[in-house]
Amino acid sequence: MPHSESHFDAPHDPDDGPVALRTSTSRRGFARFLFAVGLGGVVPGAGKLFSDFLTPTGPYAAALRVGSTGDFVRGGAPVHFEIKDANGLLRRLQIVHLDPADAARNGSDGGNGILAMDAQCAHLQCTLRWNPGFDFEGQQGWFRCACHGSTYTRAGVRIFGPAPRSLTTFRVHITSIGEVIVDATNGELGDRTNPSRAVPVPPRFLA
């Protein structure tokens, strides 16, 4: 199920200590997230709530703005981010815009839209970067871990190496003005369904 339709869990409470990746899901949390976003657009006086969300502090501290849809070329290389959330935690992310027409072995595997992934290898958490020149079985361009060689497609699907699974993904929301927001509090363990977790970009934002 695409992230946009799935869930944003209840926001992290700073009193709970450092944010940890969680695999549980919560439709109620996502509804609250969308409610907060929607209020900014339709309810007079709710602008501050909306701006607080987009400049996250407190309960929305891990909702990260990573850019606009136009910053992520459809079918292009994943973009690496190292950004601190409002709690001061460093987040390492890879954001990619999957093109469903990309049928290469290292490609989208049918995924369509923006996918946010943990940039840490699923083996021992070495930081991953997209390597456009790395050749694996005659195909160039992979996430290739420099530590022990785990190899992942553009959608973070593991195809080789000691990593036990594919890359963790995070839920994405695309706002009405085309901003891309990632909820970094709730990671979903990666598997072959990673491509289907991408959030389609509304046609008006596609070049």
Indicate the residue among 59 and 149 with the shorter CB distance to ligand FES: 149
Amino acid at 175: T
Torsion of CA 122, 104, 73, 156, to 10 degrees: -10
Q: Quick check: 22 and 13 in contact, CB under 8 A? A: no
Indicate the residue among 4 and 194 with the shorter CB distance to ligand FES: 194
Shortest Cβ 163–ligand FES spacing (Å): 5
Indicate the residue among 14 and 161 with the shorter CB distance to ligand FES: 161
Shortest Cβ 196–ligand FES spacing (Å): 24
Cα 41 → chain centroid: 24
Shortest Cβ 148–ligand FES spacing (Å): 3
Indicate the residue among 32 and 165 with the shorter CB distance to ligand FES: 165
Distances (CA, A) of 151 to 80, 95, 123, 142: 16, 17, 11, 7
Please give the residue ranges that form the binding site for ligand FES (CB under 6 A).
121, 123-124, 126, 145, 147-150, 161-163
Task: Give ∠ CA 10-128-145 in degrees, rounded to 5.
Answer: 130
Shortest Cβ 65–ligand FES spacing (Å): 28
Indicate the residue among 46 and 189 with the shorter CB distance to ligand FES: 189
Three-state DSSP class for residue 146: coil
Q: Quick check: 108 and 155 in contact, CB under 8 A? A: yes
Rounded Cα–Cα distance for residues 198 and 86 (Å)? 25
Three-state DSSP class for residue 127: strand
